[in-house]
A and B are shown apart, each in its own frame.
Chain A
Amino acid sequence: MGLREVLESWFRLKGRSLEHLSFAARRLAGIIMALYLLLHLVDISTLALGEEAYSALLNLFSGRLGLLADSLLWSILVIHGTLGVYSAFVEAGYFLQHRRTLLVMAWISAIMLIAIGVWVIAGVLA
């Protein structure tokens, strides 16, 4: 099975339910976080080039770019986390009758936490 078929199946959106869209969002967030970890290892490794190189890289992310990057990262973390909590309950066989309600609550929590986080990040970077 090729990577294209796998991605098409996981991230198929047309005609899919909220549950499937949430599955896709959770999985995509997980993949992005794994890629971020790799990127972070690269960024940390600039320390080997000296303080100047590391500081120059950090300065790149001190303005609007930093707000954007940190907000995106926070959003992805929150989506993966809130949908993960939903998933932990239903995948252990709990709240199966109320899973749609639980899923809607997970998304509402995610949106609220993302908004609060972005507001805090903007305040810190201001």
Chain B
Amino acid sequence: MRFRVVIKRVKAGGEPRFDAFDVEADPSESVLDVVERISLEKDRTLAFEHACHHGVCGACGMVINGVERLACITRIGEVAKGGVVVLEPLRGFKVISDLAVDKSRMFGKYKLVTPSTLEIVDGGLQEVQLEKLYDCIECGICYSACPIANTFPEYLGPSLLALISKSGDGKVPAVVDSRAGVWACHAAFECSVRCPVGFKPGESIMRLRRRLLKGELRVEG
């Protein structure tokens, strides 16, 4: 089947433009597969991020026909409208080039996440305790979908606040209990609806807020 893939291109110093590529693709192919083919066969200058190809690394988040999705687990036939798919970089982040964005806004605040945010995983037969970050895959889709994170640069953001809410040590940095923290959220819940792994940041933020209201958390700093 023939699809027209329209990609928003942003290059350093230039104005954004939209480039259209006509490609043959099976409707069950992922959007990422098609983007990779465009990059290999039609335009080697196309910039985008990807890694695992199965919805775990969170690298290939982008806006597909107006909705934030992971390109690797999105079938092109399911999202195309009249055979057309429009791809844009995630919102709420600085665009590096084309579909690649700078997520340091999110990762730069990870110092606020305490070690207790790590989940202790049952190691089974192994003697050593294993740790992993809670289920968030750090794709940035929640930032892009959130109307507040899009318009309030100081906002800590959905995924980070959700990770902090998992912290079991009963204390949070002062910034969490501030205008830039949980109190900026206005319950649009688009973060929870769009999250590709069901991490539900919106609900976590509200629970964190409730614990603050009830005085169950100690605010530090």
Q: Which residues of A contact B (CB under 8 A)?
A: 1, 5-6, 9-10, 12, 14-17, 19-20, 23-24, 27, 87, 90-94, 96, 99
Contacts and interface: CB of A to CB of B under 8 A. Distances in A.
Given A10-B151, A93-B211, A96-B203, 8 more contacts: A10-B147, A17-B189, A20-B147, A20-B188, A20-B189, A23-B187, A91-B185, A91-B186
Q: Which of B65, B145, B153 has the most CB of A within 10 A?
A: B145
B159 to A, nearest CB: 17
A12 B147 contact: yes
Contacts, number: 64
A83 to B, nearest CB: 10
7 tightest Cβ-Cβ pairs between the two chains A and B: A93-B210, A15-B67, A23-B188, A19-B189, A9-B150, A17-B193, A14-B66
Contacts of A91: 185-187, 206, 209
B83 to A, nearest CB: 18
Interface residues of B, number: 23
Nearest to A96: B203
A92 B67 contact: no
Nearest to B65: A15
Interface in B171-202: 185-190, 193
Contact of A9 (B65, B147, B153, B210): B147
B190 A16 contact: yes
Contact of A92 (B66, B193, B210): B210
A19 to B, nearest CB: 4
26 contacts: A1-B151, A1-B153, A5-B150, A5-B151, A6-B151, A9-B151, A12-B66, A12-B147, A14-B66, A19-B190, A19-B193, A20-B188, A20-B190, A20-B193, A23-B186, A27-B186, A90-B187, A91-B206, A92-B209, A92-B210, A92-B213, A93-B206, A93-B207, A93-B209, A93-B210, A96-B207
Contacts of B65: 15
Contacts of B9: none
Nearest to A91: B187
A21 to B, nearest CB: 9
